[in-house]
């Protein structure tokens, strides 16, 4: 049966048809390409298959109220591989259905975006990100600026008029001030810092806008040093979820090891990783955020965030307004190009290897990186901890760094209801310690937590494990068909047997 649809006027009918027609031609072209024929050569059944495509049908369904978006949305889904459904309302826009919701609720803002939605869909990449991700970033920036508009409304009439004529980048300075004020007053229901400033501004009705902005900048800079101390305290309270890599006035360099720390410590920034995308960027990577308290919080460089992959490359970097500021693949060159002093940069670079090891441990300990089962969290934790000790033995992590890492590990081991300390001890009692890294972990981290009886048990298990390794090695050698890498590993372990056992004996 044919569906009868009522169109209020002929124009709407034709425009609707035309809008969906673009999407239809697009999906037909995709299928024709797949079959290696031209769209004209497609049979009716080929065309039907194209129109039955799940992505096509889903896109048509979610854009039924706005058919003009069917083609760009189809391009987002197919070319940029953006999911059609998913995401929570409090998160960054990450699916097409979330974008539809935003358009339905905030349609009047679409024209204020820097580009047309079609143009985002036609650009597979804009800078380092997909067109869709850039669209989500631009929506976030727009919404943020709207939420900060209260400061413009509180300006006296004349400077307010002047403000409206300013270019966008100069307007941003005042919005950044509003953002900093919100951050400073976040724990004060009376919002005293903001109220005090606004009462002063009220008396500046005849001042040019730039003088008012300069005045506001000086005002909030006065609070910055207090803010710096508060921030440092907050990082310490969040440890081990966040760590300080450098803190000497005016710089505070932090490593964000979890989404929670990112949100708590850097909420002043307009970044998508603050809103549900932390793992998209900082999984298998360090997130290093730097406050520069020598400049006004309204300056975009007041806070920067740089992501460094575990293999040591800068993957992305943004200023406080989310402008892309990556300068170089090499972290050292990147930070120097951003204008940070050599002393600060050297300190960051020096700490990268141990910070990677710590972040891996924290991720596993808190189960943040994966949805893995508890048992695999435990085993990953053991592997990373021994790996960290091994890096110290091999000189990849200096002794001074290892010593600083120990309290963090102890903190993780003691952290609420995770039971990692007990798990590690049980592990060592069952399997023993059979490598120098194992001895190091036992000696530096666990010695104060174990009894002589437990060390004896660990020693006995170690002897048993060594014996078992010897028997397996002999078996493998006799058969002569084992994996050479595994056999080499066994040989290396057995080479250290006397050393490991005598070190263990010394601890009893």
| Site of interaction with another protein (CB under 8 A) | 379-380, 382-383, 386, 431, 434-435, 465, 468-469, 471-472, 475, 479, 481-482, 486, 489-490, 493
Write out the H or E segment, with its range, that includes residue 166: none
Closer CB to another protein, 163 or 381, in the complex: 381
User: Cβ 468 to another protein, closest distance in Å?
Assistant: 6
From the list 461, 441, 447, the residue with the least C-alpha distance to 385 is 441
Q: Which one, 222 or 484, has the nearer CB to another protein?
A: 484
What residues contact 89, with CB distance under 8 A and at least 6 apart? 98, 101
Provide the minimum distance between the beta carbon of 382 and another protein in the complex, in angstroms, as a whole number. Answer: 6
Q: Name the minimum Å distance from CB 463 to another protein.
A: 13
Cβ closer to another protein: 346 or 503? 503
Q: Which is nearer to another protein, 2 or 478 (CB)?
A: 478
**3-state SS, one letter per residue, for 266-300:** CCCCCCHHHCCCHHHHHCCEEEEEEEECCCCCCCH
Residue whose CB is less far from another protein, 76 or 434: 434
Is the CB of residue 430 less than 8 Å from the CB of residue 457? no
CA distance 311 to 250: 29
* In the complex, least distance from residue 402 CB atom to another protein, rounded to whole angstroms: 19
Closest CA relative to residue 55, chosen from 96, 98, 16? 96
* Tokens found for residue 285: 């990577």
- Paired strand residues for 304: 290
Q: Would you say 129 or 487 has its CB closer to another protein?
A: 487
**Strand, helix or coil at 252?**
strand
> If residue 325 lies in a helix (H) or strand (E), which one and from where to where?
none
Q: How far is the CB of 485 from another protein (least distance, A)?
A: 11
CB of 489 to another protein, least distance (A): 6
Q: Is-cis flag, bond preceding 52, omega within 30?
A: no
Residue 262 CA to residue 265 CA, distance in Å, equals: 6
Check if the beta carbon of residue 120 is closer than 8 Å to that of residue 250.
Answer: no
User: What's the min distance (Å) between Cβ of 176 and another protein?
Assistant: 47
Which lies closer to another protein via its Cβ, residue 225 or residue 492? Answer: 492
Whose Cβ is closer to another protein: residue 198's or residue 493's?
493
Give the C-alpha distances (Å, rounded to integers) separating 214 from 11, 297, 309, 320, 495. 53, 12, 38, 19, 69
> Cβ of residue 282: shortest distance to another protein, in angstroms?
24
């Amino acid at each position: 049966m044919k569906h009868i649809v009522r169109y209020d006027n002929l124009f709407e009918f034709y425009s609707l048809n035309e809008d969906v027609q673009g999407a239809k031609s697009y999906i037909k072209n995709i299928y024709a390409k797949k079959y290696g024929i031209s769209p004209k050569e497609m049979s009716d059944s080929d065309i039907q298959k194209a129109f039955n495509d799940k992505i096509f049908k889903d896109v048509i369904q979610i854009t039924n109220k706005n058919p003009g978006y069917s083609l760009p949305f189809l391009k987002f889904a197919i070319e940029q591989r953006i999911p059609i459904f998913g995401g929570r309302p409090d998160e960054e826009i990450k699916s097409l259905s979330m974008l539809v919701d935003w358009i339905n609720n905030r349609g009047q803002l679409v024209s204020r975006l820097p580009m047309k939605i079609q143009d985002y869909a036609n650009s597979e990449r804009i800078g380092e990100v997909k067109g869709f991700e850039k669209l989500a970033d631009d929506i976030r920036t727009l919404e943020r600026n709207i939420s900060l508009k209260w400061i413009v409304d509180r300006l006296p009439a004349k400077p307010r008029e002047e403000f409206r004529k300013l270019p966008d980048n100069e307007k941003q300075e005042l919005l950044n001030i509003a953002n900093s004020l919100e951050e400073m007053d976040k724990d004060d229901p009376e919002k005293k810092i903001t109220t005090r400033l606004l009462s002063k501004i009220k008396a500046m009705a005849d001042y040019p806008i730039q003088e008012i902005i300069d005045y506001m900048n000086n005002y909030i800079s006065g609070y910055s040093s207090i803010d710096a101390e508060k921030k440092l305290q907050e990082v310490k309270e969040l440890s081990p979820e966040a760590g300080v890599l450098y803190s000497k006035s005016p710089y505070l360099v932090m490593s964000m090891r979890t989404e929670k720390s990112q949100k708590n410590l850097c909420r002043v920034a307009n970044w998508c990783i603050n809103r549900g995308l932390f793992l998209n960027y900082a999984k298998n990577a360090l997130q290093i955020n730097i406050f520069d308290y020598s400049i006004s919080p309204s300056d975009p460089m007041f806070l920067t965030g740089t992501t460094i992959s575990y293999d040591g490359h800068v993957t992305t970097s943004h200023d406080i307004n989310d402008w892309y500021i990556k300068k170089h693949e090499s972290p050292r060159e990147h930070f120097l190009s951003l204008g940070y002093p050599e002393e600060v940069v050297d300190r960051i670079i020096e700490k990268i290897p141990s910070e990677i090891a710590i972040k891996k441990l924290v991720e596993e300990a808190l189960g943040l990186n994966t949805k893995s089962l508890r048992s695999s969290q435990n085993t990953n934790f053991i592997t990373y901890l021994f790996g960290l000790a091994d890096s110290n033995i091999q000189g990849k992590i200096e002794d001074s760094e290892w010593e600083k890492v120990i309290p963090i590990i102890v903190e993780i081991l003691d952290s609420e209801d995770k039971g990692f300390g007990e798990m590690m001890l049980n592990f060592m009692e069952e399997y023993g310690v059979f490598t120098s890294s194992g001895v190091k972990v036992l000696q530096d981290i666990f010695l104060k937590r174990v009894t002589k009886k437990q060390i004896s048990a660990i020693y006995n298990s170690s002897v048993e494990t060594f014996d078992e390794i010897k028997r397996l090695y002999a078996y493998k050698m006799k058969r002569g068909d084992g994996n050479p890498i595994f056999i080499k590993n066994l040989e290396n372990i057995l080479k250290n047997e006397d050393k490991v056992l005598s070190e263990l004996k010394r601890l009893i």
